[in-house]
Structure 1
Amino acid sequence: MKILMREDAQKIAVEFLKKRKKTERIDISSVEQRDGYWVVRGTCPIDLEGHPWAERFEVVIDTKGKIKSTDFSLL
């Protein structure tokens, strides 16, 4: 079984966010390992009724590369 590295976790999160948020710009602020999971945090732009906003995200990825949880909040 392949060990999931920091770069792999970041790539999984970015690809997921590009599809879900329909944007090409994903700014990663941190990638850390916590309790056996990779936690990827950052911001991405969204369009809220014609106004640009930044949205903060947190994506938790398990050791197999599966997304376990996501959290989004407006800045």
Structure 2
Amino acid sequence: MKALSEEDAQQIALEYIKKRKNVEKIHVLTVQQKDGVWIISGTCPIDLQGHPWTERFEVVVDQKGKIKTTDFALL
């Protein structure tokens, strides 16, 4: 089985965030591999009751390309 590349893991995370948050503009800050999983973190703008906010995210993707955990927080 081919190991998941950094680019593939990042693409999986970006597609997930675009679909879940309905946003196009996503800023990836870090992509790191730790304990056999890829951790992708960054920010994306969201509209919260008519007001623009920035939301921080962290998405953990395993070597099979499955999203294991997500974390979102307003800045």
Percent identity over the alignment is 65
The whole-number CA distance in structure 2 between the counterparts of 1:25 and 1:72 is: 16
Q: TM-score, normalised by structure 1?
A: 0.98
State the alpha-carbon separation in 2 of the partners of residues 29 and 53 from structure 1.
17
Question: What is the identity, as a one-letter code, of the residue corresponding to 2:41?
Answer: R
RMSD value, Cα: 0.5
- Structure 2 letter corresponding to 1:54: T
How far off is 1:16 after superposition?
A: 0.4
Does residue 60 in structure 1 map to residue 60 in structure 2?
Answer: yes
SS of residue matched to 2:20: helix
Deviation of 1:3 after TM superposition, in Å, equals: 1.0
What amino acid is the match of 2:13? A
How far, CA to CA, are the matches of 2:25 and 2:2 in structure 1?
28
1:49 aligns with 2:35: no
> What amino acid maps onto 2:36 in structure 1?
G
Match of 1:10 in 2: 10
2:72 & 2:17 partners in 1: Cα distance?
A: 11
> What is the number of equivalent residue pairs in this alignment?
75
Look up the equivalent residue of 1:48 and give its one-letter code.
L
The reply to whether residue 38 of structure 1 matches residue 38 of structure 2 is yes
Q: Which amino acid aligns with 2:43?
A: T
- Cα deviation for residue 34 of structure 1 reads 0.7
Which stretches in structure 2 are left out of the alignment for 5+ residues?
Answer: none
CA distance in 2, matches of 1:20, 1:45: 13
